[in-house]
Structure 1
C-alpha cells in the first residue's frame, strides 16, 4: 500500500451507513486505523468484547468494504484484518432527502463519533500524568465563539483541513525519536445566541 492509499477517505452513503452505524463496528474500525492490522481475538481483548462479537462485526464491516483481510500478518488459521480507508467523510447534505431509517442510522453514526471524541479526550485527561511535560505543553483543549456566515464557516473548515493535510504530508514525522500519534478533534457548529 502506498502512503496515499493508506490515507484515502471514503465518502459515506446510505449503504455504507448500514455497515458502519453500530458502536462496536465504529470502535473496531478506529482500532484498526490507529494501531494497524489485528485479529478478532486481539481486538476483543483490547475493546473488552467477546471474540465472537468482534468476529461477527468484522465480517459485517468487510461485507460493506470497510475492512479486508491482511493475510501477510497471519500464521496458520489466524485471520488478520486491516482498515481499507483511513478516514470517513460524512456530508449531511447527502442524507437530507433520505427516509427515516437512513436518517436514524446517520444519527447513530454522528452520536457515536461525538461519544468517541469525548472518550478520547477523557482518556487523555486521565492519563496525561504519564506523558512528558513537552506533551503537556503541546496539547490543547480550547474553544472559541465567532460570528460567521455559513460560507465563512465552510472556508474556515477548508483552511483548517488544508493545514492538517500539510502536517500529514510530512515524510519525516515517523522517523523523529519524539514523534507520537496524535488525535485532533475539531467541531464547528452554530449555537443559539438569541
Structure 2
C-alpha cells in the first residue's frame, strides 16, 4: 500500500483509493501532472494549466474532463468569471494497493505499472528542480533540505512497520502545521522509497 499526493488542508483530507476503473482514468502522464498541479497550486483553468505545463489548452481540457469523469477533479465555480471554467482537485491524495499490479486484467496491470513509473519520474524531476534552483532559496532552507539514503537488513514485516512509522511521523507534522502562518512557511515535498535489492 502506498500514498501519493500533497496532503493539503484545503482539500478533502480523505484519500481516494484507486480501483481498476479509477486507475485507468488516472494512469496517463498528462493527467497525473494536471492533478498534481491542481493539488499543489490550487484551482485553475485549462488555459492556465496548459501554459504552466507547456501543453495545448485543448489537451488539458480533454484530460481534465477525463479526470472529472473518474472523480479526481471537479468544477470550482467560486473562481469562475464569465465563461471561464475553473477546476480543482477533489482529494488530497490517492492510495495505491499493490494488488493492482497482480490484477487478472493485463490492462489494469499495465496502468498500474505506468502509474508507478510516472510517480518515480515525478520524484526525479522534483529533486532535479531542487538541485537546479537551490541557490534561489535562503540558507535556512538549504540547511533544512535533505538527500539521504540508508541500507538496512530487514524482514518484510519490519520493512512494513518502518513504512507505517514514517507515514505516522509525516502525518504528525501535517497536523502540527495545519494552522502555520509564519512568514517563512513553504510547501515541503517528502519522498519515501522503501524496496528490497539484491547484492549479487
Return the TM-score normalized by structure 2.
0.92
| The one of 36, 39, 44 aligned to 2:45 | 39
Does the alignment pair 1:178 with 2:184?
Answer: yes
Q: How many angstroms does 1:78 deviate by? A: 0.4
RMSD of aligned Cα (Å):
1.5
Q: Secondary structure at the match of 2:196?
A: coil
Does the alignment pair 1:91 with 2:115?
Answer: no
- Structure number with greater CO (CA < 8 Å, separation at least 6) is 2
User: Where in structure 1 are there 5+ consecutive unaligned residues?
Assistant: none
Aligned to 2:120: 114
- Over 3 Å counting, the alpha-carbon distance change for 1:74 and 1:130 in structure 2 is same
Q: How many angstroms does 1:97 deviate by? A: 3.3
Distance 2:22 2:69 in 1: 10
- Over 3 Å counting, the alpha-carbon distance change for 1:187 and 1:60 in structure 2 is same
C-alpha contact (below 8 Å) 1:173/1:179 kept by paired residues: no
Q: Secondary structure at the match of 2:87?
A: strand
Return the TM-score normalized by structure 1.
0.95
- Over 3 Å counting, the alpha-carbon distance change for 1:4 and 1:34 in structure 2 is closer
Q: Secondary structure at the match of 2:129?
A: helix
Does the alignment pair 1:8 with 2:14?
Answer: yes
C-alpha contact (below 8 Å) 2:9/2:178 kept by paired residues: no
Q: How many angstroms does 1:94 deviate by? A: 4.1
Aligned to 1:58: 64
C-alpha contact (below 8 Å) 1:67/1:83 kept by paired residues: yes
Q: How many angstroms does 1:3 deviate by? A: 4.2
| The one of 43, 65, 76 aligned to 2:82 | 76
User: Where in structure 2 are there 5+ consecutive unaligned residues?
Assistant: 1-7
Aligned to 1:130: 136
- Over 3 Å counting, the alpha-carbon distance change for 1:4 and 1:77 in structure 2 is closer
C-alpha contact (below 8 Å) 2:29/2:118 kept by paired residues: yes
Aligned to 1:28: 34
Aligned to 1:144: 150
Equivalent residue pairs, number: 193
Q: Secondary structure at the match of 2:34?
A: helix
Distance 1:163 1:58 in 2: 33
Distance 1:180 1:155 in 2: 29
